[in-house]
């Protein structure tokens, strides 16, 4: 086991901080901490990075407790939200910073070594730029290169894509994924964006108000949510009461509807969104949200009667 | 029921008749004329006085500067000012670092104490120094039995260094607080230990602030004539000579030349100051940023002990200073023994009642005027973006840059002839204080406006308020705290200022701070101590009330958090100048 968190707790007050966080991370894994702002994911990251001291709990790296180590002694590097690049240093000097101080290499050699990482992130020609003169995407790459240049055992990423516009965010997400696979770096990634989490992660940790709610692969999280909170935070879902009082979660895209004049359900409203049409159907008792894909499914009208087939459902 | 059409017809007629437009034009014109007349004109007059000799253009005054006597003065001034500003900045950095890494409560307490020790008339520490270490000093003579001599450059350096630590620390603390704490985290994350982080990240980040403090105090120390006159003994400096030239020899040309020399370092200080403020403004907005105290940041024990020791020693000196001044106010030295006496307080009663009343009168009016004009200037420059107002605003910031002595000289040469004969009146004092501090209100308002959505005014106009109505119904209510900050700053500085008004206060319009200076230079330390205590008491109480009020406002409106911080920075920087 590369990294183990045992009962890690740091509370600012009742609802702020991280409570009793347990997690095991293996070599090469991509873990995402996902939750709304204030859920404790950044606190968790700061604890792992060594910027905060936990109230309780332990951090163990390859069997060695590192809870009391300061950040500069941990084999962990962080890509900060809004990057935290040193404004008084240029691109190359920023990247060389960790090589000098963490890897204890002489300045001149460190600058040479930093070129390697300039190449990895594709910033050749920008070595002498002041970081203030770079675009958001370029700053992002510098931050990534700087963190990787210490050859960390674990890379922490604190919402690294959140300051970028949508198309750039998508591109860098792909780059990050392929970089991770190529270099085999273990990453812990913090985000509030579910599509980032689902597309990048090996495992996702869902957090809320400081508590860990569920840990699992993207598929487990999506198809077998453990609670209403997880179900509604990731994707959309219908939550209905079962016969024995249990709660049943049905994803809107798992409901198929067919026109039938004697159908059980009536279409209450619909919204056409291009690739999909979102409908709300009701049988008087319950109403369900339905997502219907494709052109064939775009011809329903409000007031139509339909039959609904539920393909998948999960009990919680 | 009135129809929309009818309301509109009526409004249209009214707005054609409205005088608001004209009133507004008149206000803008008045502001511009005032700023040109009471800031630019006096500055211009000092420079022109320095290059005209009996009505003829000549650089005689400047070539005179190269005489061996003057070169000696320049050397002395540069030596003392450099040494004190280096020492002061270094110690202030230690105090600031100490506060930055303190737990919130304790740090806050030190910060508040720094704010209070900042408010004190200049050169009064000299009273304490002479009381303790003078020929009849309590320590040198009373305890050690020596006849020591505190007069000389060492005394000047000691007092100048001590007097600038409070303000310098506060400026550096706000610079430290403005560092994006993720930079500090990143540095640690990349393997730099706390000490390396201080030298590689923290110091470079606040470098502009340090340079700004250094040059600001270099300028202030160069321009400081009070301390050298009281404690310098035979050691003479440029500013003291300029003062004596004007005061006893009435050679205003020489004095003007000497004070023009003080301008270049002031401009350098201002340059770094702007750079620093610009940096703070563009500080990246991010998620919750950790404060220094919350960072897991442990300096090595040696450094920690050193900066803690410097802070402790500084506050020990401050307590000693205030203690001795209060003691000096109520005792007299009878052959080495301190004996309680009412004499100083009685003397105060005879000599100071009128002067104190005039001080209050002057400071309150100047506070009100400079705040209103400062805010209006900001409104017309940055909100309505009237053409050329940026240049006017720059002119308004000049008194904030130049030494007080210079500004005071400007008023003498500019306003001693008809039709602008103002010398010897209350008006000249009020105008001097008003325009000297106008940029504080202006900058506080600028900062506040940055946080007020400009759509508010559009909405008010859209809902039927006139241009002038917007000012009274929207702008002024929103800028209450900017107004208060500006008022308190001008009030405090005007109550304690000496440099800029020393030539303007004649027996007819004498104010207490200037009178106190004369009493102390004439060796009436007990009386000086009474006045100093009273001025400290008045200004500190007023400031404490204002701080209380401002922090209450801040709690009510958390949005303004940022701008209060910024205002505070501005306030302190401006505050420095009144002490010259």
Q: Please give the Cα distance from B97 to B90 (Å, whole number).
A: 11
Q: CA of A270: how far to CAs of A281, A302, B136, B244, B373, in Å?
A: 9, 7, 96, 89, 59
Q: Please give the Cα distance from B497 to A36 (Å, whole number).
A: 54
Residue of A257 and B242 predicted with greater confidence: A257
Averaged over A207-228, what is the pLDDT?
92
Distance from CA of B155 to the nearest CA of A (A): 39
Using DSSP, state whether A2 is helix, strand or coil: coil
Of A42, A51, A88, the CB nearest to B296: A51
Model confidence pLDDT, tens digit, residues B505-541: 888 889 999 999 988 888 888 888 899 899 989 998 9
For residue B287, what is the nearest residue in chain A, using CA coordinates? A81
* Interchain contact A70–B (C-beta under 8 A): yes
Give the predicted TM-score (pTM) of the model: 0.77
Question: What percent of chain B has pLDDT above 90?
Answer: 20
* Interchain contact B204–A (C-beta under 8 A): yes
Distance from CA of B187 to the nearest CA of A (A): 8
Averaged over A183-190, what is the pLDDT?
92
Could you tell me if A18 and A40 are in contact, meaning their C-beta atoms sit under 8 angstroms apart? yes
Please, what are the domains in chain A? 3-229 (3.40.50.300), 249-315 (2.40.50.140)
* Interchain contact A78–B (C-beta under 8 A): yes
Interface with chain A: mutation pick from B103, B186, B195, B201, highest number of A CBs within 10 Å: B186
- CA-closest candidate to residue B299, choices B98, B93, B89: B98
Task: Say what the pLDDT of residue B560 is.
Answer: 32
**Residue stretches of chain B with pLDDT short of 70:** 1-2, 8-20, 54, 122, 142, 145-148, 276-296, 335-336, 454, 458, 461-465, 554-580
Q: What confidence tier does A6 reach under pLDDT thresholds 50, 70, 90?
A: very high
Burial B125-148 (b: 16+ CB within 10 A, else e): bbbbbbbbbbeebbebbeeeeeee
Please, what are the domains in chain B? 19-64+342-580 (1.10.3720.10), 71-285+296-322 (1.10.3720.10)
Residue of B282 and A290 predicted with greater confidence: A290
Residue of B420 and A265 predicted with greater confidence: A265
Length of chain B: 580
Q: Please give the Cα distance from B32 to B40 (Å, whole number).
A: 11
Containing B184, the helix (H) or strand (E) segment is: helix B181-189
Q: At a CB cut-off of 8 Å and minimum separation 6, what does A188 contact? A: A25, A31, A32, A33, A45, A48, A154, A155, A156, A157
Interface with chain A: mutation pick from B191, B206, B279, B290, highest number of A CBs within 10 Å: B191
* Interchain contact B18–A (C-beta under 8 A): no
* Interchain contact B103–A (C-beta under 8 A): no
Could you tell me if A79 and A144 are in contact, meaning their C-beta atoms sit under 8 angstroms apart? yes
User: Do the chains contact at A101 and B191, CB–CB below 8 Å?
Assistant: yes
Q: Please give the Cα distance from B291 to B192 (Å, whole number).
A: 19
Alpha-carbon dihedral angle through residues B213, B394, B578, B505, given to the nearest 10 degrees? 150
For residue B203, what is the nearest residue in chain A, using CA coordinates? A88
Distance from CA of B98 to the nearest CA of A (A): 19
Q: For the purposes of burial, counting CB atoms within 10 Å of the CB of B528, is it exposed (0-12), middle (13-18) or buried (19 or more)?
A: buried
Task: Say what the pLDDT of residue B2 is.
Answer: 63
User: Is the pLDDT reported for residue A207 higher than 80?
Assistant: yes
* Interchain contact A37–B (C-beta under 8 A): yes
* Interchain contact A103–B (C-beta under 8 A): yes
* Interchain contact A80–B (C-beta under 8 A): yes
Which of A272-276, A298-302, B169-173, B263-267 shows the lowest mean pLDDT across its residues? B263-267
According to DSSP, the residues that pair with A257 across neighbouring strands are A308
User: Do the chains contact at B190 and A77, CB–CB below 8 Å?
Assistant: yes
Task: Say what the pLDDT of residue B566 is.
Answer: 37
Could you tell me if A22 and A44 are in contact, meaning their C-beta atoms sit under 8 angstroms apart? no
Task: Say what the pLDDT of residue B115 is.
Answer: 84
Model confidence pLDDT, tens digit, residues A17-64: 899 999 999 999 999 999 988 888 989 998 998 888 899 999 999 999
ipTM, 2 dp: 0.73
């Amino acid at each position: 086991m590369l990294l183990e968190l045992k009962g890690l707790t740091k509370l600012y007050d009742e609802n702020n901080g991280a409570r009793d966080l347990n997690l095991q991370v293996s070599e090469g894994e991509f873990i995402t901490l996902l939750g709304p702002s204030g859920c404790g994911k950044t606190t968790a990251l700061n604890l792992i990075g060594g910027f905060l001291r936990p109230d309780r709990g332990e951090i163990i790296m390859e069997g060695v407790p590192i809870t009391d180590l300061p950040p500069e002694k941990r084999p962990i590097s962080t890509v900060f939200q809004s990057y935290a690049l040193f404004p008084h240093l240029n691109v190359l000097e920023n990247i060389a910073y960790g090589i000098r101080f963490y890897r204890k290499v002489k300045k001149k050699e460190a600058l040479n070594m930093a070129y390697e990482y300039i190449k990895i992130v594709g910033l050749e020609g920008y070595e002498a730029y002041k970081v203030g003169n770079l675009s958001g995407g370029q700053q992002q790459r510098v931050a990534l290169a700087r963190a990787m240049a210490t050859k960390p055992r674990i890379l922490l990423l604190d919402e690294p894509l959140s300051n970028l516009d949508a198309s750039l965010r998508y591109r860098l997400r792909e780059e990050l994924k392929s970089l991770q696979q190529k270099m085999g770096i273990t990453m812990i990634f913090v985000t509030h964006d579910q599509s980032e989490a689902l597309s990048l992660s090996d495992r996702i940790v869902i957090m809320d108000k400081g508590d860990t709610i569920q840990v699992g692969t993207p598929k487990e999280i999506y198809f077998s949510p453990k609670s209403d909170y997880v179900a509604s935070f990731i994707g959309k879902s219908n939550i209905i009461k079962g016969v024995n009082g249990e709660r049943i979660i049905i994803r809107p895209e798992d409901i198929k509807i067919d026109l039938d004049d004697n159908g059980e359900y009536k279409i209450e409203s619909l919204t056409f969104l291009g690739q999909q049409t979102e409908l709300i159907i009701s049988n008087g008792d319950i109403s369900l949200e339905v997502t219907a894909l494709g052109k064939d499914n775009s011809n329903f009208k409000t007031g139509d009667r339909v039959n609904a087939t539920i393909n998948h459902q999960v009990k919680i | 029921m009135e129809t929309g059409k009818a309301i509109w017809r009526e409004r249209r007629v009214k707005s054609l008749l409205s005088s608001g437009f004209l009133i507004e034009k008149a206000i803008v014109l008045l502001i511009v004329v005032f700023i040109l007349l009471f800031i630019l004109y006096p500055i211009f007059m000092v420079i022109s006085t320095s290059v005209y000799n009996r009505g003829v253009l000549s650089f005689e005054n400047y070539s005179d500067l190269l005489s061996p006597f003057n070169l000696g003065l320049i050397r002395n001034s540069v030596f003392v000012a450099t040494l004190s500003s280096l020492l002061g900045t270094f110690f202030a950095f230690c105090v600031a670092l100490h506060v930055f890494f303190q737990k919130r409560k304790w740090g806050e307490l030190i910060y508040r104490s720094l704010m209070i020790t900042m408010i004190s008339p200049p050169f009064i520490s000299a009273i304490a120094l002479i009381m303790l270490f003078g020929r009849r000093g309590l320590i040198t003579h009373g305890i050690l039995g020596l006849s020591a001599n505190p007069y000389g450059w060492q005394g000047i350096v000691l007092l100048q260094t001590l007097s600038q630590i409070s303000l310098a620390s506060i400026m550096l603390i706000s610079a430290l607080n403005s560092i994006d704490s993720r930079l500090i985290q990143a540095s640690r994350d990349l393997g730099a230990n706390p000490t390396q982080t201080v030298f590689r990240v923290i110091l470079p980040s606040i470098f502009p602030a340090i340079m700004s403090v250094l040059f600001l105090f270099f300028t202030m120390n160069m321009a400081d004539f009070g301390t050298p006159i009281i404690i310098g003994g035979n050691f003479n400096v440029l500013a003291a000579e300029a003062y004596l030239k004007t005061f006893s020899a009435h050679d205003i040309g020489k004095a003007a030349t000497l004070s023009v020399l003080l301008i270049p370092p002031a401009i350098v200080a201002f340059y770094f100051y702007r750079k620093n403020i610009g940096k703070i403004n563009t500080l990246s907005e991010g998620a919750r940023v950790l404060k220094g105290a919350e960072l897991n940041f442990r300096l090595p024990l040696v450094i920690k002990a050193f900066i803690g020791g410097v802070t402790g020693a500084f506050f020990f000196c401050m307590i000693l200073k205030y203690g001795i001044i209060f003691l000096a106010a109520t005792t007299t030295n009878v052959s080495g023994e301190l004996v309680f006496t009412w004499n100083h307080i009685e003397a105060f009663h005879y000599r100071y009642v009128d002067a104190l009343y005039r001080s209050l009168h002057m400071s309150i009016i100047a506070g009100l005027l400079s705040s209103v004009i400062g805010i209006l200037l900001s409104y017309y420059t940055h909100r309505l973006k009237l053409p050329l107002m940026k240049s006017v605003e720059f002119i308004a910031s000049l008194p904030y840059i130049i030494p007080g002595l210079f500004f005071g000289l400007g008023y003498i040469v500019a306003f001693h002839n008809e039709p602008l004969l103002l010398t010897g009146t209350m008006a000249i004092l009020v105008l001097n204080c008003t325009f000297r501090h106008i940029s504080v209100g202006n900058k506080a308002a600028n900062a506040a406006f940055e946080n007020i959505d400009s759509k508010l005014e559009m909405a008010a106009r859209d809902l039927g308020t006139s241009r002038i109505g917007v000012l009274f119904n929207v702008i002024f209510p929103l800028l209450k705290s900017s107004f208060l900050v500006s008022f308190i700053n001008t009030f405090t500085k005007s109550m304690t200022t000496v440099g800029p008004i020393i030539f303007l206060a004649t027996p007819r319009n004498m104010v207490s701070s200037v009178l106190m200076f004369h009493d102390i230079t004439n060796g009436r330390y007990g009386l000086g101590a009474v006045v100093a205590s009273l001025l400290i008491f008045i200004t500190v109480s007023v400031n404490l009330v204002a701080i209380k009020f401002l922090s209450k406002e801040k709690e009510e409106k958390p949005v303004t958090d940022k701008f209060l911080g910024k205002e505070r920075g501005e306030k302190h920087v401006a505050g420095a100048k009144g002490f010259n």
